[in-house]
Amino acid sequence: MEMKLNRFFLSLLLLTLSFINGVCGEAFSVKITPHHKDWVYKLGEKVEFLVTITEENPSSRNFSIQYEIGPEKMPAVVNVSQKVKSGILRIDGGTLNSPGFLRCKVTVSSGDEIRTEIATAAFAPELIEPTASLPADFDEFWSELKSSQKDLPLDLKLTPIEAKSNDKVTYYHVDYQNFEFKNRSYGILSIPKGDGRYPAVIRFPGAGIRPLGGNSVVADKEVITLDLYIHPFPANMDNEFYDQLANTALPNYMFFGTHDKYSYYYRRVISGCLRAVDVIHSLPQFDGENLAAWGSSQGGALSIITTALDKRIKMLVALCPAMCDFTGYLNGRAGGWPHFFNQENRSMYQNKQVISVLSYYDVVNFARQITVPGFYSWGFNDETTPPTSFYSAFNVIKAPKRVHIIPEGKHKIYPEQVDKTYAWILEKLREK
């Protein structure tokens, strides 16, 4: 009985202490922004970073703050630690004299609580030029791939997905012939029910190994959608299957085969993306003309690449595209995902052969060939696909461009991006 009472009073004491800690305001939040509302600066203009520390219950305690400032993804040039109170701290961020992005990373701690935030100021980003070189036989290399597929049967197999289909849309698992190595490609297709002929959207996936669910956002608007799976396995297996792939057969697939332009992993991927255009054109429900590409991160890269190589795509969306300007790191600035030449990977990949191979897959070199309208969106705080890298590609695109920037945006898809990109696609389709 005495032991039970002791446990009861101990639990009561812990509950009381937890309540007191909450009342005393242990919790706090940190926000950091550049002092320009749009986060954009002229070359040589000073940036001031504003750090706001907010307590749930104000107190007089000190916070430890450590901040570092430097060009994004590069070693810091400023590193300071100090004690502060809650409120607003103004940090002199310096400036850049050449186009790029300057990032301030702040870590604030009090006891066991730690908060880390970043803010990234843009300096004349519209003037960022690519470092990627264009191979003399770039067009020939990709024309060879397309011609090798020309006479290969598509061998399209559509398997209805009854559990997902409804009275408006029928869903299918898609299985089709890739190219000369006899690989198959896969995806999830949705086709509106009805007797009409419809426009279509191909959705290219972000990096990773996961099952596909198909897309209903556009399908419900009477638009055919094809979600691609880029790996050589069906797109509708159990989650455990993909978890095993990620841990065994396909870890770090984005680094596979960089010793040869014909063996790099993305050659087969891009082949499957190009054949996906054939899939859409083979459908009797397709209107034969209005086809859009849509993707984010790795998918944003594949959206640009496929649109550049197949002129049957009439518009594209690319959100925070990856694979842009790989060699940025070799020129003292951020390069594109998957960061072959950053400090972690440089010793393995910095050689003439790999640099040459990657030039055939750099999005910059495809962006030069975009001729159709595009919608592009990103955030300045993206640490996975650095804005320096995708501005290198964006700035060489001469076709009409719609832009939506979320300055504080990180590497994820925001609801407003989804709403705006699909609204733009539907608007463009109505113009046809």
Do 120 and 165 lie in one domain? The reply is no
Residue count of the chain: 432
Do 58 and 195 lie in one domain? The reply is no
Q: Do the domain assignments include residue 9?
A: no
- The domain tally of the chain equals 2
Pick the last residue of a domain from 108, 127, 146.
127
Which two tokens mark 248?
A: 């065994």
CATH label of the domain that carries residue 190: 3.40.50.1820
Count CB-CB contacts under 10 A for residue 383.
16
Do 182 and 324 lie in one domain? The reply is yes
Give the model confidence (pLDDT) of 208-229 as tens digits.
888 777 776 665 678 999 999 9
Do 96 and 167 lie in one domain? The reply is no
Please tell me the distance from the alpha carbon of residue 216 to that of residue 220, in angstroms, as a whole number.
6
DSSP code per residue over 382-419:
-SSS-HHHHHHHHTT--S-EEEEEETT--SS--HHHHH
Mean pLDDT of the 359-382 span: 98
State the pLDDT at residue 415: 93
Do 169 and 104 lie in one domain? The reply is no
Do 67 and 187 lie in one domain? The reply is no
Q: Is the pLDDT of residue 241 over 90?
A: no
Please tell me the distance from the alpha carbon of residue 396 to that of residue 152, in angstroms, as a whole number.
34
The owner of tokens 């790099």 is: 264
Q: Decide if 188 contacts 210 (C-beta within 8 A).
A: no
Q: Decide if 314 contacts 372 (C-beta within 8 A).
A: yes
Please tell me the distance from the alpha carbon of residue 379 to that of residue 409, in angstroms, as a whole number.
4
Domain hosting 273: range is 138-431
Mean pLDDT of the 355-371 span: 98
Beta bridge partners of 308: none
Q: Is the pLDDT of residue 22 over 50?
A: no
Q: Are strands 224-229 and 184-192 parallel, antiparallel or unpaired?
A: antiparallel
Q: Is the pLDDT of residue 1 over 80?
A: no
- Please report which residue ranges of 291-414 form alpha helices under DSSP H: 298-309, 346-349, 352-359, 363-367, 387-394
Q: Do the domain assignments include residue 159?
A: yes
Give the model confidence (pLDDT) of 297-353 as tens digits.
999 999 999 999 999 999 999 999 999 999 999 999 999 999 999 999 999 999 999
Q: Is the pLDDT of residue 5 over 80?
A: no
Q: Decide if 259 contacts 354 (C-beta within 8 A).
A: yes
Q: Do the domain assignments include residue 11?
A: no
Q: Is the pLDDT of residue 432 over 70?
A: no
Count CB-CB contacts under 10 A for residue 177.
19
Do 281 and 422 lie in one domain? The reply is yes
Q: Are strands 286-296 and 315-319 parallel, antiparallel or unpaired?
A: parallel
Q: Is the pLDDT of residue 21 over 90?
A: no
Q: Do the domain assignments include residue 2?
A: no
